[in-house]
Structure 1
Amino acid sequence: MLHYMLVFMAYHSSRRIPLNQRLKFQVVNAVFIVAVLAPQLFVMGRPKSSRYCRQPLLNNLAISVALSIVASGFSVIFTLMDLVHQSLWAAYHVFGLLSCAHGLSTAILTLTAAPCAKTTPELYYMSVVLTVASTFSTGFFAVRGGLWLTKSQWMMGTGRAGE
């Protein structure tokens, strides 16, 4: 859920800025996009990354790069629009499901790819970083969802469901 969280953070950070000044936020957004994509592209371009590894870590990294590019598109669109259309929100949430599936597959591949640390070290450690980041972001959304459910149950119990 790493990529889903990146868009979430960009959207909620930009909402604190007036609409006429959000274009300035795009500079920060562009720097952040480069900071996320550059290490992934660097590792993908390394000669050692193409060596044999039992797990398809290189393919997984390619998917991560693709999801990072899509996430950057969502973050640009969401930060520039004042009212985001419901179909765009739906597409974003489907993207979140894909991001969750990718995080889960990254964790499984990384946990079963310990021998790859010797043959493809940069690729393996990038996979470890992506696994940790995905685990952190999934935990964030699990806590956030739990708090939301608690709040909605409390509102239903007090008869204040419309608030």
Structure 2
Amino acid sequence: MFLYMLIFTAYHSSRWIPRNQRLKFQIVNAVFVTLVLVPQFYVMGRPTSSRYCRQPLLNNLSASIALSLVASGFSVTFTLVDPVPQSLWASYHVFGLLTCGQGLCTAILTLTAAACARTTPELYYISLILTAASIFSTGVVMVRGLWLTHRKLVTDPSRNNEQ
């Protein structure tokens, strides 16, 4: 859910900026994409990452890199297109389900791979970071969802409040 939340943040942050000044935001967006991708590529390229680890953390990191690349495409597209078509929103939410599943897999694999901290330390620690980011962002998305649900129930004009 971390990547889902980053796209959401990029979209809503870009809407505060007038359309003709969004180039500056695209530069900031590129910096964030770089901050997400560079550590993953660095760990993937380390020779110690290819050592034996009982859990498939390297495969999981490959999936995380692929989803990060897709997320960078979504964030650029969402910040440039105004209004965003409904089909793009639908694919974004399907992507959110994929990132939720990938975050769950990352958490399970990392929590069961304590022995990998000795054999593949960089890979294990990047998995810990991705797990923490996933847990945090899932909590934020859940709190936001509960807030929106409560807000909808309170302000829904279709509710009949007369008795």
TM-score for both structures, normalised by structure 2: 0.95
Q: Equivalent residue for 1:43?
A: 43
| CA offsets 1:57-94 (integer angstroms, 9 cap, x no match) | 00000000000000000000000111000000000000
Question: What are structure 1's unaligned runs of at least 5 residues?
Answer: none
Separation of aligned partners in 1, 2:25 and 2:142: 28
Q: Equivalent residue for 2:13?
A: 13
Separation of aligned partners in 2, 1:112 and 1:43: 20
Question: What are structure 2's unaligned runs of at least 5 residues?
Answer: none
Q: Equivalent residue for 2:93?
A: 93
Separation of aligned partners in 2, 1:28 and 1:148: 28
Mapping of 1:102-141 within 5 angstroms?
102-141=102-141
| CA offsets 1:99-127 (integer angstroms, 9 cap, x no match) | 00000000000000000000000000000
For the aligned residue pairs, the C-alpha RMSD in angstroms reads 1.3
Separation of aligned partners in 2, 1:24 and 1:156: 38
Aligned residues: 160
Shift of 1:159: 3.6
Write the letter of the residue equivalent to 1:73: G
Query: Contact 1:23/1:80 (CA < 8 Å) preserved in 2?
Result: no
Shift of 1:158: 8.2
Shift of 1:155: 2.3
Shift of 1:23: 1.6
Q: Is 1:152 the equivalent of 2:155?
A: no
Shift of 1:9: 0.8
Taking a change above 3 Å as real, the CA distance of residues 85 and 49 of structure 1, as seen in their structure-2 partners, is same
Q: Which runs of 4+ in 1 moved over 3 A?
A: 156-160
SS at match of 1:70: helix
Separation of aligned partners in 1, 2:9 and 2:156: 29
SS at match of 2:83: coil
| CA offsets 1:28-67 (integer angstroms, 9 cap, x no match) | 1111111110000000000000000000000000000000
Separation of aligned partners in 2, 1:157 and 1:128: 45
Q: Equivalent residue for 1:80?
A: 80
